[in-house]
Amino acid sequence: GAVVSQHPSRVICKSGTSVKIECRSLDFQATTMFWYRQFPKKSLMLMATSNEGSKATYEQGVEKDKFLINHASLTLSTLTVTSAHPEDSSFYICSARAGRGDTQYFGPGTRLTVL
Amino acid sequence: AQSVSQHNHHVILSEAASLELGCNYSYGGTVNLFWYVQYPGQHLQLLLKYFSGDPLVKGIKGFEAEFIKSKFSFNLRKPSVQWSDTAEYFCAVNAPYNQAGTALIFGKGTTLSVSS
């Protein structure tokens, strides 16, 4: 199957700093990438959908100024958590899809811990 | 908007027992249906998917699922579980022609614990 990578796999930062997470589709071109957040023992919550070359569409309740998403190429999307706070600590997972009717492939996730 | 409900929060089985995990979705239009598995400490892996055609779908590791359109259901089954099936199982749905969004929407997940 298709491979999606995320970097870093784990990051610890101080409160108030910004953290950037990268998501790459390694062997296919992803017209659409998605960012999810997973809380312990909880399901994946969709944060935003990003199409290459256009602004991301955020789900209700997700602050677009706090979670900046860039999808500048067909193989790379980035999520920047700005002015991180301890409540932003979570597991962030990206997924990528080649086309509208295609399967979404998931990255391994990034564990963010804000001290 | 579509939503997904998984009825079983935590299922505990002995090895060789049969498994059925329930999944219902709410959306009136065309849907694609998926089951993902997340083993402890690992990332999501696709077990099986249904786009169209035969409503009985076979996936990896002996899993299968049946799409029953009239019941808006996509239950996951395995005739004989193994200890290695211990994991979190997620049902997911997307509506590929939904103008409001085509992202996968997940159920809350079912924790399966298999004792040897």
Render pLDDT for B11-51 as a digit per residue (tens, 0 to 9). Answer: 999 999 999 999 999 988 888 999 999 998 888 889 999 99
pLDDT at B98 over 80: no
**3-state DSSP assignment of residue B61:** helix
Pairing of strands B105-106, B3-6: unpaired
CB contact (8 A) between residue B32 and residue A1: no
Which residues does B10 contact at the CB level (< 8 Å), separation at least 6?
A: B110, B111, B113
pLDDT at B59 over 70: yes
C-alpha torsion A46→A51→A52→A53, nearest 10: -120
Nearest 5 degrees, angle CA A69-CA A105-CA A29?
70
pLDDT at A63 over 90: yes
Q: Please give the residue of chain B at the shortest CA–CA distance from A92.
A: B43
Residue B55 — φ and ψ, nearest 5°? Answer: -70, -10
pLDDT of the residue at A107: 93
CA distance B46 to chain A (A): 8
Residue B82's pLDDT band (cuts 50, 70, 90):
very high
pLDDT of the residue at A1: 66
Residue B111's pLDDT band (cuts 50, 70, 90):
very high
Of A41, A43, A108, the CB nearest to B90: A43
Mean pLDDT taken over chain B: 92
Q: Nearest-CA neighbor of A93 among B49, B92, B1?
A: B92
CB contact (8 A) between residue B101 and residue A49: yes
**Residue B5: which H helix or E strand, with range?**
strand B3-6
Residue B91's pLDDT band (cuts 50, 70, 90):
very high
Mean pLDDT taken over chain A: 92
| Average confidence (pLDDT) over A18-33 | 94
Chain B residues whose CB is inside 8 A of the A37 CB are none
Q: Please give the residue of chain B at the shortest CA–CA distance from A59.
A: B101
Residue B108's pLDDT band (cuts 50, 70, 90):
very high
CA distance B55 to chain A (A): 17
